[in-house]
Structure 1
Amino acid sequence: MAIEFAHSPLLTFAVGLILVILLLVVWDLPAFIGLAIAAFGVGLLNAVFVADFTFGDAATKTATAFGDGMAGIGIPILMAAVIGKSMLESGSAQRIVRTFQSAVGKDNSDIALWSSSTVLAIPVFFDSVFYLLAPLARSMRARRGKNYALYLVVVGAGAATAHVFIPPTPGPLAVASEIGVNLGMTMLVGVMVALPAAIMGGLVYGRWINSRITIPLRDAMGTTTSELEERANRDTKMLPGVLESAAPIILAIVLVSSYTVVDTFQSTAPALSSLQPVVAFIGDKNVALTIAAIAAALTYLRWSDLSRSLWEEELTEALKSGGNIAAITAMGGAFGALLAASGIGSYIASSLEGIGIGLLMTAWLIAAIVRIAQGSATAAMLTTAGIMAPLTGQLTVHPAYLVMAIGAGGNICSWYNDSGFWLVKEIGGLTQAETLKTWTALTTVISVTGIIAVLVFSSVLPLA
């Protein structure tokens, strides 16, 4: 039995977990260095236990996974740093915050941020929504002088729920395709499940944890707390107009959504296919966020007293901050990729495949454990979908509920091996402990609430 365990991916997972805790928590190494060492360590174990994985691969596959991560988030994070810096220091973020408060009242600022995040995350990926709304959360905290934990949680809640429940985000879209579920029904059931999960995770848990911890506003994304507080106390007449302030967010949302809309509906509306080449370019998140960054930077130049040379230096500082965040986020993803290469996902999935509980709960449990083990929500969802697809005929409810159960499981417990954990930590200016109490706990609340909603709705409204 000991020999069997020694050759099990569980050993690799356990060593990886011990390494990140030892390096990042006990020894307090810089996150990038600690994650790189942990990834190399997991790679060395893979070379011992995984067929066709060499000691050389421990180095090259770590570098490749890091490069793949940078290809996905490098430009968006750098442009998000420019957007955040520009919106915060031009006063644009503060103007949007004041508009929110005028509309819903200052005591309902969390509802304004929560609803914005939830709606925007349906057509736009999680990371893009967080890039755009995190500056608003920081400005709201500077304006109110409290509730930073709440504001970050509500922004994360809307983005995270849509990411795993509502197509056309990639995870639920791919799972629905694998299982063979109608897209329209998946979207309908997705909204039904996402809403209670977003409310429980964002508003209920957010207010609960906010009453128990106080997170200070720290320097982040190239902007100091003193600068934020100065903008928070500035007269409204000295701030950009609402439309100009919101232009970077509007541009990013419209451009990214244009690709989503055309790609989703061109089969039913052939006229849209002629737009495909155009939106494939401008709707790419790299291009969309670059255009948004230009708009934000020009507003910053217009509404500041900086010379062009000083303005350029300030933007360069923001890019330096963004580069550090991108490196940490990509290395967190690489650590998760090396854990996945150990075979931990398929090992857990095959171990749980025949445990004898209901199909919906089985799907949730498999996705949840794979997610915790290897980090990626989308990978956990696709792994589980491949296992559950042949069993769909045994369901007594609509298979869209199976998609939701898989999505709920795939969202649970974002921690050190998930690039999203590092994204939230670095952009939000949080400590590791604060990120665990807010973001990691939030993803778990969403997951548990999601599966409960699935079980309730499928019992009351099976749609079969």
Structure 2
Amino acid sequence: MHPLLILLLGMATVLVAIIAFRVNAFLALIGAAILVSVLAPGDPATKIARVADGFGRTAGSVGVVIALAAVIGAAMTESGAADRIVGGFLNLLGERHDAVALGATAFVLSLPVFFDTVFFLLAPLARSMYARTNRQYLKYLLAMTSSGVATHTLVPPHPGPLGVADALGVDLGLMVLMGVVVALPSAIVGFQFARWRDRTMPIPMRVPIAAHAAPEAQAALPALLPSLLPVVLPVLLIASNTIVDALRTRDAARAALWAAARPVTATIGHPVTALFVSAVIAMWLYARRRRPTRQELAELVERSLMGAGIVILIVAAGGAFGASLQATGIGPVIQGAFARGVSNPGLTVLLLAFVITMVIRAAQGSSTVAMITTAGMLGAMVKGIALPYHTVYIGTAIASGSLMASWMNDAGFWIFSKVGGATEAETFRSWTPLLSIVGLTGLATTLLLARLLPLR
């Protein structure tokens, strides 16, 4: 069977299973992986085995990182470290720039913490700000949303971008760095939309006001520097490994120095090491501030790991799907199509990554599933193709596409509506266009960087 036809059958299997039959994404992706692998060439005895191999490789690559990130997020929330970061930004920027402070806080907190948790955490603060000013409630909600969704979809260790980096073979440190670079202008443009939307469609606050934290409680929170450590430290450690590795091959004058530093940074800058250290610090903060019993500490870890388990399964199933697609030989077919008449294959791949992710996201609602599914397909397609830029830009294009066309099948839509107190119509006119604007800005930034800074 032709590889393109197998690809279409695999995509259809995923979409029909999730949308029409409400099948769990893990089962849908594994089912599609088995179908594609059976239809692909090869020894019948190894066709199912390569599905398991692809699943195992991906789980081994990302499973520990996702689990540790879940523990970090839970411990930061329970210890009060997240609240301290909120207070730090408010003190730094002042009440006059409270919306900017909310956005900046969401940007930083969403690096290790899932977006829905960040939104739940910051929503009471947005309500208390509105109670003080009696204005700009929608601006507060959208400001923290634009920053939170940008980092959640573009920056590892969140499962979507982490799975994308693994499927495309992108160094995790580089994915973190370029994810932040693309997320920052996306969040800023989203903030400008928030200001305009609040002026043209102000909404009242319809949910009860609950005090975010009393002044006495704020005094008992961790200090700002220890609170920031679980967020900043893993980023710095992972980046150190990426930077030293790049300088080792490009800075001939100091090659011996970078070669000597390489064993150290390769150890401390490995994502597992970096996030493990971060998890230890986050749990230490929790233990120091809350004085939990051993059972309470164990329950915190178990709750976070149980939530991470299904995410790991979905990401690994996406890896199995991608491995099965590679076995079809789809990469050489796509390469041949480019050679026969596509005038700008580099641009075509980026736009294709964006559009495929957008379609899958609109169809089934989950940005993570859309990213993982598309990355599996694109990873197989571009294998062996000479592109004029680094594959990290395919990753940021996929992540940007996952923000498009969010509607009622997206859990984030309902979190914004119900927690924020917006009607469905108001959510359609604020949340949905905001995410699309953030995604389009991410694509534009990706196209610009791929042209000006190809990293080749």
- TM-score bracket for the superposition, by shorter chain length: 0.5 to 0.7
Matched, 1:95 2:59: no
The answer as to whether partners of 2:41 and 2:327 remain within 8 angstroms in 1 is: no
Matches within 5 A, 1:42-441: 42-52=32-42, 54=44, 57-58=47-48, 60-104=49-93, 105-113=97-105, 116=108, 129-131=111-113, 136-145=118-127, 150-158=143-151, 196-197=185-186, 199-200=188-189, 202-204=190-192, 232-233=213-214, 235=216, 236-267=218-249, 268=251, 269=254, 270-339=256-325, 341-344=327-330, 346-348=332-334, 350-351=336-337, 353-358=339-344, 361-368=347-354, 375-377=373-375, 380=378, 383-384=381-382, 386-389=384-387, 409-414=397-402, 441=436
Shift of 1:137: 5.0
Total equivalences in the alignment: 393
Does the residue aligned with 2:243 lie in a helix, a strand or coil?
Answer: helix
Distance 1:277 1:238 in 2: 40
Q: Residues 193 and 74 (structure 1 numbering): CA distance in 2 closer, same or farther, change over 3 Å?
A: closer
Task: Identify the range of structure 1 (274-283 vs 264-273) with the bigger mean alpha-carbon deviation.
Answer: 264-273
CA RMSD of aligned residues (A): 5.2
Residue 259 (structure 1) shift:
1.4
Q: Which residue of 1 aligns with 2:444?
A: 449
**Cα deviation digits, residues 84-117 of structure 1 (max 9, x gap):** 1211111110000111122223221354147658
| Matched position secondary structure for 1:266 | helix
1:300 Cα deviation after fit: 0.7
Question: Could you say what secondary structure the match of 2:222 adopts?
Answer: coil
Maintained 8 Å contact 1:47/1:57: yes
- CA distance in 2 between partners of 1:343 and 1:203 (Å): 43
Structure 1 contact 367–381 (Cα < 8 Å) conserved: no
Aligned to 1:37: 27
Report SS of the residue matched to 1:82.
Answer: helix
In the TM superposition, residue 82 of structure 1 has moved relative to its aligned partner by: 1.9
Is this contact kept in 1: 2:80–2:221, CA < 8 A?
yes
Q: Which amino acid aligns with 2:53?
A: T
Instruction: Provide the C-alpha distance between the structure 1 equivalents of 2:446 and 2:287, rounded to a whole number of angstroms.
Output: 48
Structure 1 residues 72 and 449 mapped into 2: Cα distance closer, same or farther (>3 Å)?
A: same
Query: Cα–Cα, structure 1 residues 79 and 57, in superposed 2: closer, same or farther, change >3 Å?
Result: same
Change (3 A) 1:439 1:297: farther
1:154 corresponds to which letter in structure 2?
A: S
Aligned CA distance change for structure 1 residues 143 and 51 (closer, same or farther; 3 Å)? same
**CA-CA distance at 1:303 after TM superposition:** 0.8
Deviation, 1:241, is 1.0
Contact 1:92 1:240 in 2 (8 A): yes
> Matched residue of 1:129: which SS?
coil
Question: CA offsets, 1:417-445, max 9 Å, x none?
Answer: xxxxx9x97xx9999x99x9599847742
Q: Report if the CA contact (8 A) 2:321-2:376 is conserved.
A: no
Conservation of the 8 A alpha-carbon contact between 2:326 and 2:381: no
Deviations along 1:290-336, one digit per CA (max 9) or x if unpaired, are: 11111111111111142333333333322222333333333344345
Matching residue of 1:122: none
Contact 1:282 1:288 in 2 (8 A): yes
Structure 1 residues 253 and 194, CA, compared in 2 at 3 Å: closer, same or farther? Answer: closer
Task: Give the aligned residue type for 2:44.
Answer: T
After superposing the two structures, state which structure 1 stretch, 441-450 or 287-296, moved more. 441-450
Match of 1:185 in 2: none
In the alignment, is the contact (CA less than 8 A) between 1:7 and 1:49 conserved in 2?
no
Is the contact between residue 41 and residue 328 of structure 2 (CA under 8 Å) also seen in structure 1?
no
Counterpart code for 2:144:
Y
Residue pair 1:99, 1:242 contacting (<8 A) in 2 also: yes
8 A contact 1:79–1:293 mirrored in 2: yes
Alpha-carbon separation, structure 1, partners of 2:323 and 2:105: 32
C-alpha distance 350-365 of structure 1, shift in aligned 2 (>3 A): farther
Deviation at 1:282, TM superposition (A): 1.5
User: In 2, distance between residues paired with 1:40 and 1:189?
Assistant: 30
Report the alpha carbon displacement of residue 19 of structure 1 after superposing the two structures with TM. 1.8
1:371-399 alpha-carbon deviations (Å, 9 max, x no partner)? 6787354973785484354xxxxxxxxx5
AA aligned to 1:143 is: L
Q: Assess if the C-alpha contact under 8 Å between 2:241 and 2:269 holds in 1.
A: yes
Q: Give 1:409 deviation, angstroms.
A: 4.5
Q: TM-score, normalised by structure 1?
A: 0.65
Q: Secondary structure at the match of 1:375?
A: helix
Query: Structure 1: how far apart are the matches of 2:46 and 2:65?
Result: 31
2:79–2:290 CA contact under 8 A, matched in 1 = yes
Q: Is the contact made by 1:110 and 1:150 (CA closer than 8 Å) also made in structure 2?
A: yes
1:406 is displaced (CA, Å) by: 5.3
Q: Is the 8 A contact 1:377 1:411 kept in 2?
A: no
Q: Unpaired runs of 5+ in structure 2?
A: 128-136, 157-163, 172-176, 361-371, 404-409, 419-423
One-letter code of the match for 1:258?
S
CA drift of 1:237 comes to 0.7
Going from structure 1 to structure 2, the CA distance change for 1:438 and 1:293 (only over 3 Å counts) comes to: farther
Contact 2:62 2:312 in 1 (8 A): yes
Distance, in Å, in 2 between the alignment partners of 1:379 and 1:213 is: 42
Identity %: 26
TM-score (ref. length: structure 2): 0.66
* SS of aligned partner of 2:385: helix
